[in-house]
């Protein structure tokens, strides 16, 4: 019998939630979150420190019971269907507790032995494959206590890859990695996605999220304030038109009359949101109004700009 929650059992979704809420005392750490994560996507889960990302992930994995709402993984309701679906889900949430005096393979062997659904006859092959995929096979003889922070993070990812997974949930997977290690994780995520695995990744590295994620969700104060494909979410922030001129006062007046919003003076000129007004029309109106246009540009906001507009604060890299 299937245990999917009503409204969250769409076969095209790897993760779905409706009204997912967690309260601690009188405070809602996560407030009515409705996640929609398509199968096969790489979903970037963003938010400043304390926005509720990790608590949401813990509820999705059945590690924390929600105060209200429902959620499902791969069509199975959590926590009721956990035994059915969790063997098909790999996760990295703050990393597992490894034994410091054991090697990487020995640690993975113990984790694998604790999985009653894993075939012990293929353990060595699967452990070597997981280590190779995260670039740790050459360090197989080294004890965990001698690992760098980056190596420890990669071993944690290897633990999530001991078996083929339909869904991989990663909370800050590049934490502690140098630029080369970060690139390797990005390529790994792309490789997993190309194999059909859905990857749900919480990260503070906006540049990495931009390069590897097909879908985005942005949290603020426990609420999901934006969600959709990367193009849809970024399309929600208005582009900016900027003109460089020695006549900023006249330029600002003309741009405001045309209907641009948020018109303001900036060093060397004026900027504002075009709101659908064609760039050629703006330039023509400026020239006709006697404004000397040195340069005119229309730029789309970066992911960092979008994050700032949605959350009202810069991205806290400590989260």
How far is the C-alpha of 28 from the C-alpha of 229, rounded, in Å? 27
Q: Could you please report the per-residue DSSP string of 27-50?
A: EEEEEEE--EEETT-EEEEE--TT
pLDDT score at 231 = 79
**Could you say which architecture CATH assigns to the domain 240-299?**
2-Layer Sandwich (3.30)
Q: Could you please report the per-residue DSSP string of 4-24?
A: PPTTS--TTEEEEEEEEEEEE
pLDDT score at 115 = 86
pLDDT score at 2 = 36
pLDDT score at 3 = 39
Number of residues in the chain: 319
Sequence ranges of the domains in the chain: 13-231, 240-299
Q: Spell out the per-residue pLDDT of the chain, length 319, in tens.
A: 333 444 566 778 999 999 999 999 889 999 999 999 999 999 999 888 788 999 999 999 999 999 999 999 999 999 999 888 998 999 988 766 899 999 999 999 999 998 888 889 999 999 999 999 888 999 989 999 999 888 888 899 899 999 889 999 998 888 777 787 788 788 888 888 888 899 999 987 777 787 889 999 999 899 999 899 987 887 666 688 999 999 999 999 999 999 999 899 999 999 998 988 999 999 999 999 999 999 999 987 667 767 776 766 554 433 3
Give CA angle at 98 (93, 100), nearest 5°.
Answer: 145
Which among 244, 265, 241, 238 has a CA at the least distance from the CA of 253? 265
pLDDT score at 93 = 86
* CATH of 13-231 among 3.40.50.300, 3.30.56.10, 3.90.1150.10, 3.90.1300.10: 3.40.50.300
pLDDT score at 290 = 94
- Per-position b or e across 224-241, b if 16+ CB within 10 A of its CB: bbbbeebeebbeebbebb
pTM: 0.76
Q: Are 73 and 5 in contact (CB under 8 A)?
A: no
Give CA angle at 154 (81, 59), nearest 5°.
Answer: 25
How far is the C-alpha of 46 from the C-alpha of 216, rounded, in Å? 7
């Amino acid at each position: 019998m299937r245990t999917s929650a009503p409204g969250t059992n769409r076969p095209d979704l790897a993760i779905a939630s409706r009204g997912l809420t967690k309260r601690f005392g009188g405070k809602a750490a996560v407030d009515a979150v409705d996640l929609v994560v398509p199968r096969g996507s790489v979903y970037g889960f963003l938010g400043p420190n304390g926005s509720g990302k990790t608590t949401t992930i813990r509820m999705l994995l059945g590690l924390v019971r929600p105060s209200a709402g429902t959620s499902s993984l791969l069509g199975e309701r959590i926590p009721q269907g956990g035994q059915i679906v969790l063997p098909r889900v790999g996760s990295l949430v703050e990393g597992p507790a490894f034994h410091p005096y054991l090697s990487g393979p020995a640690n993975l062997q113990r984790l694998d032995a604790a999985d009653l659904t894993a075939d012990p006859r293929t353990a060595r092959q699967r452990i070597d494959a997981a280590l190779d995929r995260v670039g740790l096979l050459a360090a197989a003889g080294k004890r965990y206590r001698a690992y760098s922070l980056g190596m420890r993070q990669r071993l944690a990812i290897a633990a999530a890859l001991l078996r083929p997974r339909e869904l991989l949930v990663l909370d800050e997977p590049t934490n502690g990695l140098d630029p080369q290690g970060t690139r390797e994780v990005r390529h790994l995520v792309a490789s997993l996605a190309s194999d059909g695995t859905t990857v749900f990744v919480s990260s503070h590295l906006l540049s990495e999220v931009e390069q590897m994620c097909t879908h985005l969700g942005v949290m603020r104060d426990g609420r999901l304030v934006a969600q959709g494909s990367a193009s849809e979410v970024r399309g929600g922030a208005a582009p900016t038109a900027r003109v460089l001129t020695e006549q900023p006062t006249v330029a600002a007046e003309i741009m405001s009359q045309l209907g641009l919003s948020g018109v303001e003076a900036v060093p060397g000129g004026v900027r504002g949101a075009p709101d659908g007004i064609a760039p050629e029309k703006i330039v023509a109106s400026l020239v006709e109004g006697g404004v000397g246009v040195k340069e005119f540009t229309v730029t789309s906001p970066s992911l960092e700009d979008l994050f700032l507009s949605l959350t009202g604060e810069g991205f806290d890299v400590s989260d």
